[in-house]
């Protein structure tokens, strides 16, 4: 089981993702049983997971750290669940759980689907509200506006939503899920098809970004968050572990400069934990890596190289401002960032 791959299967040797999530929403208008309420919900994530990384970035950019608490699972898990093995005594200090599975069973004692991150948990009941990761970040932008920090960027501008939705769907199908389609292919034919599909999409994105700083123009949006979390893992795990090896990201000039630009913005690169990312993929995917040996490379110091993308636009936050540094308890260890060498 990896991030949201639990329940995934092979159809004619092609990887398919189980996308049936608990789809409840937390809303501001009373249209759901879960109202927007500061302090009521806990966002459970794992730094290794690209889907969870989206929620971490959005929460940070919008300034919701004091409104929605965050629980961190460790980078590895077994067939049952993600675990809170990074916390003292191996229990989440707010929920009291050892395993995220406990929150799903509190919601449904017969729950038998994937235990995935990110998950939003109702603290009073200890039950899962939703693990619908695509909707979750959009709701952080649209339902929690009363609690956004002063200067929070508009990550989902209303006038761009129709085009953004199309762009984000293509990114999900062709890139976010595309790397998994390569890595979990069950035949040479399925892999070859997935490989061609992935790099065709990356080439098109490179063309789109050649003369615009971000996917939707001159400022950061949710679309950039969704692409970034895959690009941030590309050379570290997808290039080798998932056989996405036509080129490294660092050999694709436009996408590499774009990814470095985002990485160097507050709220993006400071959420990336390279050792946890490697430990997750190389240990959990024992069917792909039976020895579970974690590679020492690649060198990640290049993420801090100059990118010159600011020549295309000097207002990455639009009318907003950059987020402040993360709370002390949520900071990635310094040796787990660019150029770090630490394993857990």
Element (H, E) at 47: none
Q: How many CB atoms lie within 10 A of CB 324?
A: 13
Phi, psi of 34 (to 5 degrees): -115, 100
User: What is the token pair recorded at 180?
Assistant: 């998994």
C-beta of residue 123 within 8 angstroms of C-beta of residue 71: no
Tell me which long-range contacts 252-257 makes (C-beta under 8 A, separation of at least 24): 252/202, 252/206, 254/206, 254/209, 254/210, 255/202, 255/205, 255/206, 255/209, 255/231, 257/307, 257/308, 257/309
User: What is the token pair recorded at 179?
Assistant: 């790397």
172 given a catalytic annotation: no
Phi, psi of 253 (to 5 degrees): -55, -45
Q: Is 85 exposed, middle or buried (0-12, 13-18, 19+ CB in 10 A)?
A: middle
Instruction: Kindly give the residue spans of alpha helices, DSSP state H, lying in 210-296.
Output: 222-233, 253-263, 274-279
User: What is the token pair recorded at 115?
Assistant: 């235990």
Catalytic residue among 49, 73, 182, 244: 49
49 given a catalytic annotation: yes
Catalytic residue among 21, 41, 97, 180: 180
Element (H, E) at 26: strand 26-27
Q: Catalytic residue positions?
A: 49, 180
């Amino acid at each position: 089981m990896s991030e949201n791959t639990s329940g995934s299967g092979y159809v004619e040797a092609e990887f398919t993702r189980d996308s049936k999530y608990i789809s409840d929403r937390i809303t501001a208008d009373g249209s759901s049983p879960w109202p927007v309420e500061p302090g009521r919900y806990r966002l459970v994530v794992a730094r290794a997971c690209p889907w969870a990384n989206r929620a971490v970035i959005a929460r940070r950019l919008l300034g919701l750290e004091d409104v929605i608490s965050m629980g961190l699972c460790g980078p590895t898990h077994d067939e049952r669940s993600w675990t809170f093995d990074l916390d003292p005594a191996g229990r989440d200090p707010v929920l009291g759980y050892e395993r995220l599975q406990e929150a799903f069973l509190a919601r449904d004692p017969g729950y038998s689907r994937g235990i995935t991150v990110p998950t939003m948990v109702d603290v009073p009941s200890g039950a899962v509200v939703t693990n619908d990761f695509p909707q979750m970040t959009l709701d952080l932008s649209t339902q929690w506006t009363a609690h956004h920090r002063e200067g929070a960027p508009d990550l989902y501008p209303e006038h761009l939503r129709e085009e953004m939705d199309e762009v984000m769907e293509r990114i999900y199908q062709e890139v976010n899920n595309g790397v998994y389609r390569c890595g979990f292919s069950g035949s040479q034919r399925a892999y070859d098809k997935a490989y061609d599909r992935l790099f065709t999409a990356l080439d098109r994105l490179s063309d789109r970004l050649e003369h615009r700083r971000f996917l939707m123009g001159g400022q950061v949006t949710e679309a950039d968050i969704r692409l970034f979390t895959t690009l941030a893992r590309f050379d570290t795990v997808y290039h080798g572990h998932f056989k996405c090896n036509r080129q490294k990201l660092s050999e694709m000039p436009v996408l590499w400069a774009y990814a470095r630009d985002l990485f160097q913005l507050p709220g993006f690169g400071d959420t990336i934990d390279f050792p946890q990312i490697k430990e997750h993929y190389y240990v959990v995917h024992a069917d792909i890596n039976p020895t579970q040996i974690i590679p020492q490379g690649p060198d990640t110091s290049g993420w801090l190289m100059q990118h010159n993308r600011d020549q295309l636009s000097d207002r990455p936050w639009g009318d907003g401002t950059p987020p402040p540094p993360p709370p002390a308890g949520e900071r990635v260890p310094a040796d787990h960032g660019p150029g770090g060498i630490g394993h857990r």
